[in-house]
Every structure is written in C-alpha cells, then in structure tokens.
Amino acid sequence: MDILEALLKSLSKNKKWIIVGAIIYLIPVIYRLTTENSFVPFLDNTLFLYQRSSQIIPVNLETLGALFLIPSAIGAIIGVSFLENLFSRRFSGLEKYVGRVFGSLFFAVGWTAMQFSGFVFFNPVGPWGNLLWSGPDVYARNLLVALTVGPLVPYAIEFIYKIKK
C-alpha cells in the first residue's frame, strides 16, 4: 500500500475521533465568539496551584483538552493506524507505542506549524481583545506533550472502554 492510500484509509477509519476532537476544540471558540468574552466559566477554572502564566504546565480544562486531544492523542490514534495500513499488519506492544509516538509527534508538528502560520501571517484580534492564535511560547509545550502524554491517552481510552464492558 502506498503512503497516500494508507493515510486516506487511516483518516477515514478514524474520522469519529477527528470529529470528536474538533467539537471539543470548537466549544470554547464558539462560546468566545458568541459572547465576545475570553473567560469560559466551565473551562477556565484553575486546576493546579501554579501561576496562570505557566506555558509548560496546563492550568485549565481547555488547555488540557487542546493539548491531549488535539492534536496529540488523535495523532497517536491515526498514526498507529497509518503505519499498520502502510506495513499491512497489526502492531502490538512496543511497535504500537512507537507508532503512537510517531503519529502524536507528526500531528503536533503540523498543529504547531499551523499555529505559527496563524500567529505570523493571520493574527487578528478577537472581539474580546486577545489574539486568536497562540504565540511561540506554547510551541515547545505542544511537542513535549506529543512526546510524553499524547501517546498514552489512547491507552487510557482503551482501558476505560474495557472497564465499561
């Protein structure tokens, strides 16, 4: 199977995860655009005792969602599916984990490139007075999460799914 065919097959197989991730990411965006307020009451409550200016440690639910679901965890799910399609076999154990790290890092680099492009070229100010795109201070965090926590989220989802059955 060639690379493009493997990518399209893995994207179509995992479209539910892409849709769920996009919806989770768009909820605060839509709220901010409709209310013209940057404070989202159910997401902006501080979770940790660290300062809000911290760019490495996530301090609210929105940051956790944006870091773990978009793009790291979804990338991990699609990445292992892509590699399985490319090599025409199922992965398990360490191969599966390495596939998830690959996908997580690949999608995080793509997301970071999109954030950088938006920040440099298309950086409008939202109705609430803040910039719409994240600045360079979050790019390292995106890649750190993609290498550490992002690949573990699919394992947590599988574990929770097995408990429910």
- Report the pLDDT value the prediction gives residue 57, as an integer from 0 to 100: 52
At residue 101, does pLDDT exceed 90?
Answer: yes
Q: How many CB atoms lie within 10 A of CB 140?
A: 12
Mean pLDDT calculated for residue range 47-56:
49
Q: Burial level of 80, CB count in 10 A (0-12/13-18/19+)?
A: buried
Provide CB contacts within 8 A for 113, sequence distance 6+.
none
Mean pLDDT calculated for residue range 42-64:
55
Three-state DSSP state, 137: helix
Q: Higher-confidence residue: 39 or 143? A: 143
Q: Is 124 left (phi over 0), alpha (psi -120 to 50) or beta?
A: beta
Residue 131's DSSP bridge partners are: 125
Instruction: Tell me 129's DSSP state.
Output: S
What is the per-residue pLDDT across 61-79, written as a single tens digit (0 to 9) for each?
Answer: 666 676 566 788 899 999 9
Q: Burial level of 51, CB count in 10 A (0-12/13-18/19+)?
A: exposed
The answer to whether 42 touches 62, Cβ cutoff 8 Å, is: no
- Report the pLDDT value the prediction gives residue 100, as an integer from 0 to 100: 92
Q: What angle do CA 77, 144, 62 make, to 5 degrees?
A: 75
Q: Is the pTM of this model over 0.85?
A: no
Which tokens belong to 82? Answer: 């892509």
Residue with tokens 């390292």: 140
